[in-house]
Amino acid sequence: MNKLYLGDCLDILRNELEIKPESVDLIYIDPPFNSKRNYNVFFDDKEIQTQRMAFEDTWSLHSVGESLTELDTIHHDKLLNLLNAYQDIAPQVFPYLVMMTLRIIELHKVLKPTGSFYLHCDPTASHYLKTVCDAVFGAKNFRNEIIWKRVSAHSDTKQGNVLHMGRTHDIILFYTKTEFTNRNELYQPYSQEYITKFYRHSEPNGRKYTLDNITGPGGASKGNPQYEFLGVTRYWRYSEKRMIELYKQGRIVQIKSGNVPRYKRYLDEMPGVPLQDIWDDILALQSQAKERLGYPTQKPKSLLERIIKASSNEGDIILDAFCGCGTSIDAAESLNRKWIGIDIAPFAVSLIKRRLKDTYENYLSKFEVRGTQTDEPSAIKLWEQNPFAFEDWWLTELEVFATTYGKKGADQGIDGIGQYLIPKVDKAIKVGFQVKGGKVQSKDIDALFGAISKHKYDMGVLLTRYKPTKPMLTSAIQLGQYEVADYGYKYPKIQIMTLAEYFNGKQLNLPKDNVTFKSATTIGKSGKQKGLF
């Protein structure tokens, strides 16, 4: 079964017994690039500032101190020497490299001897990461530095007084675990320039062909036979019998008597140009791209499909340990591969679940989500340990955007915001959510109703660990319904859902089309991206 894990990939790879050593056919990772940015996602609400971190790309000596000690403990002397050198000559990247080194070690362990490893990065840290991968995989198992030209040429001087040239590419480091790896040859179409130059001949039906050399290079030393054919004696690529057969088929032609015969090679029989290490035919997702989710650093699905096709077969297991919004998972699912995805952000896991269900609907392979709360006792334990994590978990499970994430702050009576489309109605309705882990009473209903009225929301939902009192239920009913008169839709103005009801499968009485993430934007220091879903 396919699996999606919530958590730090280092812990998952070490402690999840089902991810066994040498069990994975292909690993692709697109980790943070040491960009010194924190990528946040914002919900577009004018009155309540909503923000949650998609992922953090900032590392410090303090955050990796224990990791460095651990490397020393497990006796990775070469890696320690390498990292200590970087601490002196490249201190800005040293903490990031320590973090990545431990994870690359674990990824190497779970990769099959026939497996391949692709690390997606950029010139910020690619040259440092390559030395780490050389130490872990062995320099002899380095196969390619793939250049992915993600954007067209541009001038960065518009940003101010910069010295660098336009930065248009990412780097994908390709390693195998051994020389006995799975590899499928991929081809790209010939350019029109190439076709015009080399396939100049056409049959009456328009079928293009070129005339190719059929003499045997190397002569007898390469085992090529020598004989006379059409009055010309040479060493040939084919046996005399085969030459006669090809001639009868019209595949061997002689332009005029005495000329060396040539082979008629048709364009439509050629697979194309073998894939090289510069990929300039797949652009980064544009702002209006149909597959764009708005998640920071999202890669095009076609890029991941190419990698998966090149280094795996149907039924193989694909692992992405920094799976983000799940492009690699989506690609693996569409290509009939098994998959394992790991991400540390609850928000990312929620996005992937929605992405898969929306894309494949009834054709989606079964998958399991691990690391999230799966029953009432585990959810209550989370609340007792961290009420804010409990709040974020429940809202994320309902695909609702949290207004305060990971820290205590003024939520103005609203913990989460959801947006839903009513069939045949263009305008989305806005629903405010409040999460209560402690005892609840009637005043909580009044407070929620006051908050949604203040912020001009259409409805409110109270999520509570404890069973509501009868006066609470009465108050909620008395507040009436939100109605769409022209179409006959009615929804409770205030709804209540308990934790027990949630785990028993109760559904909120809301429009089915949840478009909350479509109304979100992602912002990093590099700029703004619109539209999550």
Q: Would you give per-residue pLDDT tens digits along the chain (533 residues)?
A: 899 998 889 999 999 988 999 999 999 999 876 555 544 443 444 444 444 444 444 455 555 666 667 776 666 778 888 988 998 899 888 888 988 999 999 999 999 999 999 999 988 889 999 999 999 999 999 999 999 999 887 777 766 777 788 889 999 999 999 999 989 999 999 999 999 999 999 999 999 999 999 999 999 999 999 999 999 999 999 999 999 999 999 999 999 999 999 999 999 999 999 999 999 999 898 877 888 876 777 899 999 999 999 999 999 999 999 998 899 999 999 999 999 999 988 778 888 988 898 899 888 999 999 988 889 998 998 888 888 888 888 998 898 888 764 444 444 688 988 999 887 777 788 999 999 999 999 999 999 999 999 988 999 999 999 999 999 999 999 999 998 877 778 999 999 999 999 999 999 999 988 888 765 443 333 333 333 33
| C-alpha pair distances (Å), 291 with each of 42, 75, 301, 391 | 20, 45, 8, 30
The pLDDT value recorded for residue 406 is: 43
The pLDDT value recorded for residue 137 is: 97
Got the DSSP string for 329-352? HHHHHHTT-EEEEEES-HHHHHHH
Cα 490 to Cα 482: distance, rounded to the nearest angstrom: 6
Tokens of 509: 């009485």
Q: Give this prediction's pTM.
A: 0.81
The pLDDT value recorded for residue 433 is: 95
The pLDDT value recorded for residue 410 is: 45
Cα 229 to Cα 52: distance, rounded to the nearest angstrom: 76
Q: Identify the structural domains of the chain with CATH numbers, from first to last.
A: 2-186+277-370 (3.40.50.150), 188-269 (no CATH), 376-530 (3.40.1350)
* DSSP E strands, 214-329: 226-229, 232-235, 252-253, 262-266, 273-274, 278-279, 317-320
CB-CB contact of 236 with 227 (8 Å) = yes
The torsion of the CA quartet 103, 106, 108, 112, rounded to 10 degrees, works out to: -140
The pLDDT value recorded for residue 253 is: 95
Cα 315 to Cα 332: distance, rounded to the nearest angstrom: 10
All residues at 6 or more sequence positions from 297 whose CB lies less than 8 Å from its CB, including other chains: 30, 39, 324
Residue in this structure with the two tokens 């708005």, named with its chain if needed = 294
The pLDDT value recorded for residue 407 is: 44
CB-CB contact of 37 with 526 (8 Å) = yes
Long-range contacts (CB closer than 8 Å, 24 or more residues apart) made by 346-349: 346/6, 346/372, 346/392, 346/393, 346/396, 347/41, 347/52, 347/54, 347/396, 348/54, 348/55, 348/295, 348/323, 348/324, 349/4, 349/6, 349/396
Cα 327 to Cα 322: distance, rounded to the nearest angstrom: 11
Adjacent-strand bridge partners of 3: 340, 368
Phi and psi angles of residue 166, each rounded to the nearest 5 degrees, phi first: -60, 130
The number of residues in the chain equals: 533
Tokens of 139: 């320099």
Tokens of 225: 């036979």
